[in-house]
Amino acid sequence: TAPATTVTVTGAGGQIGYALLFRIAAGAMLGADRAVRLRLLEIPQGLKSAEGAALELQDCAFPLLQDVEISADPRVAFDGAEIALLVGARPRTAGMERADLLAANAGIFGPQGAALNEVAAAGIRVLTVGNPANTNALIASASAPDIPADRFTALTRLDHDRAVAQLAAALDAPVGEVAGVTIWGNHSATQFPDVAHATVAGRPAPELLAERFGGGDAATAWLDGEFIPRVAQRGAEIISVRGSSSAASAANAAISHVRDEQLGTDGRRTSAAVVSTGWYGVPEGLVCSFPVTSDGDGYRVVDGLSLDARGRARLDASVAELVAERDAVRELGVI
């Protein structure tokens, strides 16, 4: 049998951590034939919660789970890591300016990137979930000069899956029939969920939307007025209904992101935020969500999809936000 894969989860004592660890240990992320060693990173006040999760992991007697170690030291928790899920982050609190939020997170993702650079395994792949996810990934990557930038990604798969579900619901179609949806840009309210190249049961989504909502501008009005805001603001909707932020769905998306990155998508397109090398005119170095596929060796951006003027303007607006976040981090002297 293959040696166990070392997976480090930061913020493991939090909500998403609790929804994530058990499924990783059960084989949902890497497959039923790959054993895992879990390394949990927490800050001191989160250690007890992580320890509780570790006790429950033991009680599950997962055959694939080789061992669990908990630490508050990134150099210990990332030692030998082959996959790192950076979930722990500093949340925005009332009255906090964006610059304060970026500075607080730079104080987390900078040192974590440096620790990964020093002690992670040569093949390390890093998924950033903690918000602001794209810019936190940029900070981690910039702090890890020896790790190729394409090993760093940020999570927009939850937005992607939300878009798939909303499109399927609007067209009364099974979610499994939806293909080719793209999330472009930042994991934020400026993101652009795009169905221009999507298909449902093999038929172009724009055609089906025109049938459902009427031709001309009616389908576009639905996209701009209902679909995009619903997807982009779904996180806030979950908070208002559930009383706390999405956790199980975020954990599920993180698992799908890593599984597809590691095991491949079989030609199927999905969405992930990756370090741009200039695709679609997005400035090099920004961590931006694109249409991607994977052959089991990391994500590759699908180039050459057309963007109409409306789509271009939406992508440009989200990229402008990513540029502003990067510039604010530069001003702090972090990157």
Residue nearest to ligand NAI (CB): 14
131 binds ligand NAI, rule: CB under 6 A: yes
Stretch that binds ligand NAI, among 6-14, 210-218, 264-272, 321-329 (CB under 6 A): 6-14
Tell me whether residue 77 or residue 198 sits nearer to ligand NAI (CB atom). 77
185 binds ligand NAI, rule: CB under 6 A: no
Stretch that binds ligand NAI, among 26-34, 96-104, 178-186, 246-254 (CB under 6 A): 246-254
Q: CA-CA distance, 74 to 85, in Å (whole number)?
A: 12
- Give CA 283 to chain center in angstroms: 20
Nearest CA-CA partner of 74 in 128, 116, 14: 116
**Range 272-331, binding ligand NAI (CB under 6 A):** none
Catalytic residue selected from 160, 187, 197, 257:
187
How many of the chain's residues bind ligand NAI (CB under 6 A)?
28
* Identified binder of ligand NAI from the candidate list 7, 41, 57, 181, rule CB under 6 A: 41
169: Cα within 13 Å, side-chain hemisphere? 10
Going through the chain in order, the beta strands assigned E by DSSP cover 5-10, 36-41, 65-71, 83-86, 125-128, 152-154, 178-179, 182-184, 192-194, 199-200, 203-204, 270-275, 287-294, 299-301
Give the nearest distance from C-beta 158 to ligand NAI in angstroms: 4
Give the nearest distance from C-beta 124 to ligand NAI in angstroms: 17
Is 187 marked active-site?
Answer: yes
54 binds ligand NAI, rule: CB under 6 A: no
The secondary structure element, H or E, covering residue 306 is none
**Range 138-167, binding ligand NAI (CB under 6 A):** 155, 158
193 binds ligand NAI, rule: CB under 6 A: no
Give the nearest distance from C-beta 167 to ligand NAI in angstroms: 18
Q: CA-CA distance, 122 to 82, in Å (whole number)?
A: 8
Q: CA-CA distance, 156 to 154, in Å (whole number)?
A: 7
Is 13 annotated among the ligand-binding residues? yes
Q: CA-CA distance, 123 to 130, in Å (whole number)?
A: 22
The secondary structure element, H or E, covering residue 35 is none
20 binds ligand NAI, rule: CB under 6 A: no
13 binds ligand NAI, rule: CB under 6 A: yes
Residue 119 has which token pair?
């002690």
* Identified binder of ligand NAI from the candidate list 196, 247, 305, 335, rule CB under 6 A: 247
Q: CA-CA distance, 215 to 131, in Å (whole number)?
A: 38
For residue 180, give Cα distances in angstroms to 69, 104, 273: 39, 36, 16
Going by the DSSP 8-state scheme, the letter that residue 267 receives in this structure is T
Q: Do residues 329 and 139 touch, judged by C-beta distance below 8 A?
A: yes
113 binds ligand NAI, rule: CB under 6 A: no
28 binds ligand NAI, rule: CB under 6 A: no
Binding-site string for ligand NAI from residue 67 to residue 106, where x marks contact by CB under 6 A and - marks none: --------------------xxx-x---------------
Of how many residues is the chain composed?
A: 335
Q: List contacts with ligand NAI (CB under 6 A).
A: 10-11, 13-17, 41-43, 46, 49, 87-89, 91, 108, 129-131, 133, 155, 158, 187, 245-247, 250
Q: From the annotation, which residues make up the binding site for NAD(+)?
A: 11-17, 105, 112, 129-131
Question: Looking at the annotation, which residues are catalytic?
Answer: 187
